[in-house]
Amino acid sequence: MASRVSTASQRHAAVAILRSASATRDLSKGMALHARLILSTPFDIVLHNHLIAFYAKCGCLGLARKVFDAMPFRNSVSGNFLMSGYISSGHHRDALGLLRVIDFGGSWMVRTIVRSMARAVEQWDHVSYVTVLGHCASMKDLVLGVQVHAQALKRRLELKVYVGSALVDMYGKCDCAHDAHCVFEVLPEKNVVSWTAIMNAYNQKELFEDALQLFLDMEMSGVRPNDITYAVALNNCAGLAALRTGSALGVSALKTGYWRYLPVSNALINMYSKSGSIKDAWKVFTSMPYHDVVSWNLTITGYAHHGLAREAMEAFHYMLSVAEVPSYVTFVGVLSACAQLGLVDEGFYYLNTMMKEVGVIPGKEHYTCMVGLLCRAGRLDEAEQFIMSNCIVTDVVAWRSLLISCQVYRNYGLGHRVAEQILLLKPNDVGTYVLLSNMYAKANRWDGVVKVRKLMRNMGVRKEPGVSWIQVGSEVHVFRAEDKVHPQMDQITEKLEELIYQIKAIGYIPNFAMVLHDIEDEQKEEHLMYHSQSSVVQYIPRKGYQIHPCRLSAAIQNEVHVTLLIYFDVIKKILTEKPEIDEAYREATLRNAS
DNA sequence: CGTCCCCATT
């Protein structure tokens, strides 16, 4: 009896050592323990399982495997540790081979799954299912996910809360919100993770309102949100630019103490930024005790989105000064800021020198920014060369950027070439076809206009209704392209025309858009004037455009920026009698928060 | 042993 107690406590201590060695990736510490363990008798399966976990964490899959193979007997935990080790280090084939889900005779994916799955699946425990489903979720492997689901059903495991939540998440990540919902609905016990997973599935599908409703349902059912739940809910607000709801959630997170968690404060930055309140986003940032690279990236790209490229660059340099290492996304933000400011040399310095220094390999998005930068500087031919020599010839976005600049600089010769180039890529979004049609119209190539129209019809490309909305106070003002039902429509249109007149007077080409007009009338000069690349409007993937109070087009300079700010002030005043109330409310919220 | 968040170009 006494010896058993001592063994148990020794085991406890050994597990603790292995855990800490895993956490710090202290290979020698764990190996020393391993050496002692080999000599000790009797064989302890729990310790050996943790040994597998330790080696797997340290990236020594070979050693983990050796321990596994040398064990006189194993349990499902041994397999799970090894498998999650393989999965997290990317050896998916080995991981799944371990449990013989898949034969590796040929392609590892689809065909062999069904045949071989039944063989070893009886060795799985419920954690195996969770592990594999997590893998399916991150790989978006719906085919395997469905197979696993079928097996789970057979063994009646799908109602267990961990397995169920993993299923909900898997379907959500695979873009099957409906299936996620079905699994979620029948779960007899739903915990905070199940709720968060389903909310996130709706978020993925851009069903933001439904996701927010789920947040309320969850609270009604007595489940408390955690930091991730708040983050997901705030991301839904960001998708709707629902400033009021987002602020309220921020206050709620403050009350419950989740405000200080990184996912929550990052989501708050995102929400404020996407809702047009970049100042509040910055206030959140400065009130955070520490930041991660996502916080920085959100701030940098947030400023860039608002046309505040100077501030974006400042934030970037601030980031470097506190020795935070920029990431792939950081450089996307920085280069887009450079593009706005026309900083060609600096842009190339970041692309060719700094990115190499910090070990970030430039990708499509960076090259696309560089195209935008060259276009912004009016170096259209270089931009064309750049596209062709940087493996982004198939990137519609890059060509579109060039196409727009061709219009701005009235270089219709190049514009025509670019349009032909884009057509070869067979784009499938309306926006591109509208741009193409505009280009041809401007270049007086009516044959081109007809061609584009025909293509759109044949491909079944339908025009999404242009919708803009802005939240002022507690009201959301919606503007549809095809109707003019907003009571203050006349006033707003009048102001818009006035502003465009002013911009033209200073000599700028008004390429900012406010989608209050009908994009059906592509041929009208008026339309060509209003409709162009994103600027005052921010595209929201779901259904339309969100007017940003201070978003500024790359091609518009400072004095126009000021005009725009004034202009949006005017709009706000038109839309609300007492705009300062909303302002005061936000101030109060922020004061509470910090 | 395990499930939920993570920013980007036009």
CA of A7 to C1' of B10 (A): 65
Alpha helices in A241-292 (DSSP H): 243-256, 262-274, 278-287
A332 found inside a domain: no
Please check whether residue A191 lies inside any domain of the structure.
Answer: no
The pLDDT assigned to A546 comes to: 34
Residues 314-333 of chain A: which lie with beta carbon within 7 Å of strand B?
327-329, 332-333
A339 touches strand B (CB under 7 A): yes
Query: Is the CB of A538 within 7 Å of strand B?
Result: no
Q: Which two tokens stand for residue A538?
A: 């921010």
- pLDDT (average), residues A320-329: 96
Q: Average pLDDT of A186-212?
A: 96
Domain with A540, as residue range(s), is 467-593
Mean pLDDT: which of A149-153, A430-434, A579-583 is highest? A149-153
Domain count, chain A: 1
Residues A52, A22 contacting (CB under 8 angstroms): no
In a domain, A442, yes or no: no
In a domain, A481, yes or no: yes
Q: Give the pLDDT score at A99.
A: 52
Mean pLDDT of A487-493: 68
Is-contact A221 A198, C-beta < 8 A?
no
How would residue A397 be classed by pLDDT, with cut points 50, 70 and 90? confident
pLDDT exceeds 50 at position A477: yes
Of A86, A127, A92, the closest CA to residue A107 belongs to: A92
Closest residue (Cα, C1') to B2 = A127
Q: Which of residues 369-388 of A touch strand B (CB under 7 A)?
A: 369, 372
**Highest mean pLDDT (candidates A97-101, A229-233, A277-281, A417-421):** A229-233
CA distance A305 to A294: 16
Q: Give the C-alpha separation, A237 to A231, whole Å.
A: 10
Residue A343 lies in a domain: no
Residue A268 within any structural domain of the chain: no
Of A503, A498, A507, A505, nearest to A535 by C-alpha is: A503
Proximity of residue A533 CB to strand B below 7 A? yes
Q: Does A564 reside within a domain?
A: yes
Per-residue pLDDT, A556: 31
What's the rounded mean pLDDT across residues A420-428? 87
Please tell me the predicted confidence (pLDDT) of residue A589.
44
As given in the structure block, the two tokens for residue A217 are 């349902």
With a cut of 60, say whether residue A534 has pLDDT above it.
Answer: no
Helix (H, G, I), strand (E, B) or coil at A172: helix
Quick check: A293 CB within 7 A of strand B?
yes
Evaluate if the CB of A256 falls below 7 Å from strand B: no
Q: Nucleic chain B: which protein residues 84-143 of A have CB below 7 A from it?
A: 84, 125-127, 130-131, 134, 137-138
> Which nucleotides along chain B are within 7 A of a protein C-beta?
1-10
> What pLDDT score does A235 carry?
96
Q: What is the pLDDT of residue A370?
A: 95
Nucleotide nearest to A369 (CA to C1'): B9
What confidence tier does A316 reach under pLDDT thresholds 50, 70, 90? Answer: very high
* pLDDT of the residue at A577: 45
The whole-number Å distance from A544's CA to B3's C1' is: 34
Q: Is there a domain that residue A231 lies in?
A: no
Strand B: which of residues 16-55 in chain A lie with Cβ below 7 A?
53
